[in-house]
Amino acid sequence: VQLQASGGGLVQAGGSLRLSCAASGRSFSSYALGWFRQTPGKEREFVAAISRSGGTFYADSVKGRFTISRDNAKNTGFLQMNSLKPEDTAVYYCATGSQITIGTPRGYEYWGQGTQVTVSS
């Protein structure tokens, strides 16, 4: 599976962005999808995940502001980010896997290249 993340950019605090994760290769619907973020000098941080059946999971820091979704017919996943804060600034990565551990990068087999999100105060 090849993943291509897009949709990042510069936005003011309180604004919104929608990230996309386009998948090609093996059946996208067979995998769970996760979003992670990373800032320089820090470990990759879990943001959200959606299971094959559509169950969703969020980090406490984004709960109520971010929404993860997927369109299996289009082999694409999404992360809608609302009420953005400067602390949301990071490179965002999408990833898929068949045996993931919720809340961690464990089990994700395929990773996209990342898209930069910058939130100005």
How does DSSP classify residue 86? G
Instruction: Please tell me the predicted confidence (pLDDT) of residue 93.
Output: 98
Q: Facing residues of 19 across strands?
A: 79
| CA–CA separation, 13 and 100 (whole Å) | 32
| CA–CA separation, 59 and 47 (whole Å) | 5
Instruction: Please tell me the predicted confidence (pLDDT) of residue 36.
Output: 98
What backbone torsions phi and psi does residue 85 show, to the nearest 5 degrees?
Answer: -120, 155
Terminal C-alpha separation, the chain = 37
| CA–CA separation, 52 and 29 (whole Å) | 6
| CA–CA separation, 111 and 100 (whole Å) | 13
Tokens representing residue 9 in the block: 């950019």
Statement: residue 26 has pLDDT above 90: no
Residue range 27-43: average pLDDT?
A: 94
The torsion angle over the Cα atoms of residues 10, 109, 40 and 48, rounded to 10 degrees, is: 50
Q: Which of 33, 39, 28 is nearest to 78 (CA)?
A: 33
pLDDT digits (tens, 9 = 90+) for 62-94: 999 999 999 999 999 999 999 999 999 999 999
User: Mean pLDDT for the chain?
Assistant: 95
